[in-house]
Amino acid sequence: MMKLLMTTVAAAALALTFGASGARAGDKWDGADDLPTNPLACDSSGGGTVAAKPYDGGQPTGAPDKAGKEITLVDVPKLIGIGYFNATSKGMQDAAKELGNVKVTTDGPTEAKIDEQIKFIDNYVTRGVDGVLFAANDPVAIAPVLKKALSKGIHVVGYDANSTPDARQWFVNQAEFNGIGKALIDSLAKEIGEDKGFAIVTSTFTTPNQARWIAEMSAYAARCHPKLKWLETVEAQEDNVLSFNQATTLINKYGDKLAGLVGMTSVATPASAEAVTKAKLCGKVAVVGLATPNAMKPYVNADCVKSVVLWNPVDLGYAATYVVRAVVDGKLKPGDTSVEAGKLGKLTVVNGSEILLGAPFIFTKANVKDFDF
Amino acid sequence: MTSLAAAPPERRVPRWLARHETLLAAVLIVALAILGALNNRFLTLDNLLNQGRLMTEVGLIALPMTFVIITGGIDLSVGSVVGLCAIALGYSWKNLGFPLPAAIAFAIALGAICGFINGFFITRVKVPPLIMTIATLALYRGFAEGISQAHSVRGYPEWFYFMGQGELFGVPTQLWLLVAAIVIAGVALDRTTFGRSLYAIGANETAARFSGLPVDRIKLVVYTLSGLMAGVSAYVLVSRVTTTRSDMGIGYELDVIAAVVLGGTSIFGGSGTIWGTVVGLVMIQLLKDGLALTGVKGDATIVVIGTVLIASTLLASSLQKRRDVGG
C-alpha cells in the first residue's frame, strides 16, 4: 500500500517537474522592466540624441555645507571581489588622490544580493558618511534606504546600475542603453551572420542595467537584424562557475543552431569564452559581450573572441567621485547641463539627472594589450 | 544565579537548561558594551530600533524553527517558501487581480500549505526531514522563478508599506509583530501540553508515540507553522523593500538555523527555548551591525559570526557533557 502511494507520489512529482520546466524552456525573455525602448538607427555611429528632460533626481535634506572641505564617501557596488568593481574602485581612488579632499572606501556584499546591499548602505547611513556611491542590484528595492540617506543629509550618486530617479541626486551612466544594445548586436551580427541563432547569458533578470540593455538589444535586433534568431536568455548571478555551466548547457542544448553567445556581465563573458574553448568550438561559436580587457586577453589573443564591448570602468568610478565633489562644492546643481570631471573633461547631462560617460568602446586584438584592468 | 537578562518566571525545566542562555546573554551584554564603547552611534535608540526592524524577517521564522528543531527535525525550505510567497503576493495582486488584502492572505495561506506539504511527507511517507526540505527548497524556488518569469511587481499602495517601513508609537511596526510572536511562541513552548510534547518527541520519539502523544499530528502542525511564518515574513519583506523578486529569501534558512542553534537549541532535538533563540537572534544581528559600524569590513564580519557560532556550539556541548556526567 505504502509502495503504491510512494510510486504515485514520485510519478506525480516527476510529471510536475517536467511540466514546470517545459513551460520555461526556450523562453525569449526580453528585458521585462516595462520601460520604453529607443533603438538607434541601423547605420548611425552610435551617438544618439541627447534628451532634454527636466531634472528628476532627489535632493538631500539638511546636508551640511562642506564646500571645499574634506568629505568621506562610501562606495557600495553590486558586489565586491570582481574585476569590474575593482576597476571602478580604482578609478575612485585615483580621483580621490587627485582631488585631495575626498576619502572613498569601497565596501559591499560578497554576492550580488539586494538585501545584503541594503544592509550595508543602512549601516553606513547610521555611521554617518558625507556621500554614498552605489551600483544597484535592484532599482526599486534600493530606493527606500537611499531616500533615508537623503533625508539624513547624505549625498547620493549612482553609477553603473540606476535606482528610481528620485532616490538619488545623479546617476553616472557609462553609455546610453541603446548605444550598448546597438554595439553588442552589431558586433554579433558581423561575426555570425544575419540569420544565425544566438543566446544570452546575463546576471539576473531583474538587475536594472542588464535588463535595460537586453530590452534595447531586442528592439534594435527586431529593427535592424530581423533575421537573427534569439534562442534563449539564462541567468548566471555574476557567479563564475554558474556562468560557465550555463554557457556549456546552452552549447550542448542547441548544438549547431547556436552560432553566438552574448555575455551581459563582466563575469559571464569570460566564462562563456572558456566554455566555448573547452568545447573546442573556437571560431565556430562566436562570443561577444561586456567584459574587462584583462579577463578577455587570453581569449582575444587566441582568436576565440574577436571583440569585447565595454567602456572604461576606471573612468566610471573616477567620474562618479568627481560628480559628488562637484555636488558638495555647489558646482553641479539641478538643471545644469554639464559637469567638469577632471581629466575626462566636460560630461553632458542627459535624461534629466543622468551624466553620460561617453560611447561604448570596442576592445580588439589590436588594442587589448594597451589596457590593464 | 540568574542574570538580569535571563529571568523568565518560574521555569519547571531543570537549572542546567537555563545556564546556556544566561551565559549567552552575559556574552551578549559584554559584546554590546564593547561595541558601544567603540562607536557612539551603536547604542542609540534609533540604531537599535532599526536593527529590530531588519531582524524581524529572520526572527519570525526562527520561532517555529525552534519548535521544529526541538522535535529533532529541520526545515531547510523556509527561504524558498519566503520567495514563493513573495512572488504569490505580487502575482496574485497584479496578474490575477486579487484585492491587495486578499493577496496578502493568499500569500500567507500558501506558506502554510507549503509547510503542510513538508509535514505531510515527513510524517506519512516517512521521508527524513533533511531530505524532504532540501527537495522542497529547490522545488519552491523553482516555482517562484517559474511563476514570476523574472518580472518584479512594484507600485503597491501607500498603506502596504506600513508593515515594513512604518512606525507605531515610535517603534517599527514589524517589531511589534515580532514581539507578539515571541510572547505567543514562548508561552506555547513553556506552558502548554503542545510545548511539552515537542520536548518529549525530540528526546525520544518512540517513547512519546507509545505514551499516547499524537506525534504525527504535532509534527504536521510545527511544519505547517514554519511555512506559515515564512509566509508572514515574506509579507514583511515585500513591504520593506517595496518590490517582489524571485530571489528573495535565498540563504534565510542558514541565518535562521544559526540563530536557533546559537541560542542553545540542540540540533539533535529535545532541548531549546524561545528565549535562547531570541538571544541568539539579537546577538547575530547586533554583532553584525556593531562590527560594521566600527569599520570592520563585510568579509571580516562573517568570520566573526562563524567564530561565535563555533564557540557557542562548543560551550553548549561541554555543558551537555557536564549534564550527562552529573546526571
Domain range summary for chain B, segments of one domain joined by +: 16-35+56-316
Facing residue for A126 by CB, picked from B50, B251, B302: B50
Give A362's pLDDT tier (boundaries 50, 70, 90): confident
Provide the shortest C-alpha distance from residue B146 to chain A (in Å). Answer: 7
Helix (H/G/I), strand (E/B), else coil: B272:
coil
A195 and A143, same domain (yes or no):
no
CA B157 remoteness from chain centre? 28
Give bridge partners of residue A156 from the DSSP assignment: A132
Alpha helices in B124-214 (DSSP H): 129-148, 162-165, 173-191, 193-203, 205-210
Give A31's pLDDT tier (boundaries 50, 70, 90): low
* pLDDT tens-digit readout, B6-19: 555 555 555 654 57
Give B41's pLDDT tier (boundaries 50, 70, 90): confident
Q: Name the nearest CA neighbour of B209 among B72, B63, B327.
A: B72
Pairing of strands A258-263, A197-202: parallel
- Assess whether pLDDT exceeds 80 at residue B318: no
Q: How many whole angstroms separate alpha carbon A59 and alpha carbon A156?
A: 9
A180 and A305, same domain (yes or no):
yes
| A214 close contact with B: CB closer than 8 A | no
* pLDDT tens-digit readout, A115-139: 889 989 998 998 889 999 999 998 8
Give A25's pLDDT tier (boundaries 50, 70, 90): very low
Query: Please, what's the largest Cα pairwise distance for chain A?
Result: 81
Q: How many whole angstroms separate alpha carbon B104 and alpha carbon B122?
A: 27
Taking residues B185-195, what's their average pLDDT?
93
Which residues of chain B lie closer than 8 angstroms to A205, CB-CB? 149-151
Q: Name the nearest CA neighbour of B312 among B27, B34, B109.
A: B27
Give A112's pLDDT tier (boundaries 50, 70, 90): confident
Q: Is residue A181 exposed (0-12), middle (13-18) or buried (19+ Cβ within 10 Å)?
A: buried
| B94 close contact with A: CB closer than 8 A | no
Q: How many whole angstroms separate alpha carbon B191 and alpha carbon B200?
A: 14
- Assess whether pLDDT exceeds 70 at residue A269: yes
A124 and A249, same domain (yes or no):
no
Give bridge partners of residue A51 from the DSSP assignment: none
Q: Do B298 and A23 lie within an 8 Å CB cutoff?
A: no
A183 and A300, same domain (yes or no):
yes
Dig out the grid coordinates for A78 from the structure.
Answer: 553590486
Q: Where are the beta strands (DSSP E) in chain B?
A: 167-168, 171-172
Residue type, A325: R
Domain count, chain A: 2
Facing residue for A118 by CB, picked from B241, B289, B298: B241
Question: Which single residue is written with the C-alpha cell 544566438?
Answer: A198
A151 and A114, same domain (yes or no):
yes
> Does a structural domain hold residue A316?
yes
CATH number for position A335: 3.40.50.2300
Give B323's pLDDT tier (boundaries 50, 70, 90): low
Q: What pLDDT sits at residue A195?
A: 86
| Percentage of residues of chain A with pLDDT beyond 90 | 29
| A143 close contact with B: CB closer than 8 A | yes
Q: How many whole angstroms separate alpha carbon B94 and alpha carbon B80?
A: 21
Q: Name the nearest CA neighbour of B246 among B132, B57, B75, B89.
A: B89
Residue A281 CB coordination number (10 Å): 17
Provide the shortest C-alpha distance from residue B255 to chain A (in Å). Answer: 13
Alpha helices in A35-142 (DSSP H): 83-99, 114-127
> Does a structural domain hold residue A113?
yes
DSSP state of A39: P
Pairing of strands A131-134, A71-76: parallel
Could you give the count of Cα atoms lying within 13 Å of B207 in the half-sphere of its Cβ?
Answer: 10
* pLDDT tens-digit readout, A316-351: 999 999 999 999 998 888 888 889 888 888 898 888
Q: What pLDDT sits at residue A360?
A: 76
Q: Name the nearest CA neighbour of A150 among A67, A59, A279.
A: A59
Q: How many whole angstroms separate alpha carbon A67 and alpha carbon A120?
A: 27
* pLDDT tens-digit readout, B238-296: 998 888 887 888 889 988 998 998 888 888 888 889 999 999 999 888 888 888 888 77
* pLDDT tens-digit readout, A271-324: 999 999 998 888 889 898 888 888 888 888 888 888 888 888 888 999 999 999
- Assess whether pLDDT exceeds 60 at residue A45: no
Give B136's pLDDT tier (boundaries 50, 70, 90): very high
Q: How many whole angstroms separate alpha carbon A233 and alpha carbon A240?
A: 17
> Does a structural domain hold residue A193?
yes
- Assess whether pLDDT exceeds 90 at residue B56: yes
A271 and A352, same domain (yes or no):
no
A133 contacts A44 by C-beta, under 8 angstroms: no
A244 and A199, same domain (yes or no):
yes
Q: DSSP for B66-91?
A: HHHHHTT---TTHHHHHHHHHHHHHH
A268 and A353, same domain (yes or no):
no
A279 and A256, same domain (yes or no):
yes
Return the residue of A nearest to B47 by Cα: A126
* pLDDT tens-digit readout, B116-132: 999 999 999 999 999 99
List Cβ neighbours of A13 (8 Å cut-off, separation of 6 or more).
none
Q: What pLDDT sits at residue A27?
A: 44
For A222-231, give one letter per residue: b (16+ CB within 10 A) or e: eebbeebebb
Return the residue of B nearest to A79 by Cα: B298
Q: How many whole angstroms separate alpha carbon A212 and alpha carbon A31?
A: 6
Q: Do B142 and A126 lie within an 8 Å CB cutoff?
A: no
Give B237's pLDDT tier (boundaries 50, 70, 90): very high
List Cβ neighbours of B287 (8 Å cut-off, separation of 6 or more).
B31, B35, B301, B304, B305, B308
- Structural domain containing residue A248: 29-48+176-310
| Correct CATH for B16-35+56-316 of 3.40.50, 3.30.160, 1.10.3470, 2.60.120 | 1.10.3470
DSSP state of A370: G
| B39 close contact with A: CB closer than 8 A | yes
> Does a structural domain hold residue A114?
yes
Helix (H/G/I), strand (E/B), else coil: A286:
strand
| A217 close contact with B: CB closer than 8 A | no
> Does a structural domain hold residue A17?
no
ipTM exceeds 0.85: no
A210 and A288, same domain (yes or no):
yes
A199 and A233, same domain (yes or no):
yes
CA A140 remoteness from chain centre? 16
Give A23's pLDDT tier (boundaries 50, 70, 90): very low
Q: Which residue has the higher pLDDT, B225 or A294?
A: B225
A231 contacts A237 by C-beta, under 8 angstroms: no
B232 phi/psi in degrees, rounded to 5: -65, -40
A212 and A335, same domain (yes or no):
no
